[in-house]
Amino acid sequence: MEYHIDVDAARLLRQARARSGLSQRDLAARAGVSQPMISAIERGVQDPRHGTLDKLLRACGHEVDLVLRGGEGVDRTQFLPMLRLTAAQRMRAASRDAQVIAQLDRARR
């Protein structure tokens, strides 16, 4: 499985460094990354690998936490349990779900 993660590394690193009160030179010394490389990342000229960005953010006292956005993609975890049901069982479950949705809609009004 392949993922594409759209992150504005330049903005993320600039903000983390500013919050930590570090200069580019200080961050370079802490992270073991050259100051020109940090400058290039912050200007958006260089797109760092995940490991490099993680190392720089950790040196600023921050970390990367990847979380899937709600409402995107397909929740495949619900397919198999539903497919194990017979057609009649799926219809009964759908009917129960529709009744709950109707009750919620009535309560909302």
Domain 9-59: which CATH number of 1.10.230.10, 1.10.8.60, 1.20.210.10, 1.10.260.40:
1.10.260.40
- Each residue's pLDDT tens digit, 35-59: 999 999 999 999 999 899 999 999 9
pLDDT exceeds cutoff 70 at 70: no
Q: What span, in angstroms and rounded, lies between the C-alpha atoms of 55 and 58?
A: 5
CA–CA gap between residue 16 and residue 34 (Å, rounded) = 17
Q: Report which residue type is found at 61.
A: G
Sequence-ordered alpha helix ranges (H) in the chain? 9-20, 24-31, 35-42, 50-59, 79-83, 87-108
Q: Which residues contact 41 (CB under 8 A, 6 or more apart)?
A: 9, 10, 13, 47, 48, 52, 53, 56
Reported pTM: 0.59
Over residues 68-76, the mean pLDDT reads: 65
pLDDT tens digits, 3-34 = 556 678 999 999 999 999 999 999 999 999 99
- Residue 90 pLDDT greater than 70, yes or no: yes
**Alpha-carbon span 96 to 27, nearest angstrom:** 57
Residue 100's pLDDT is 93
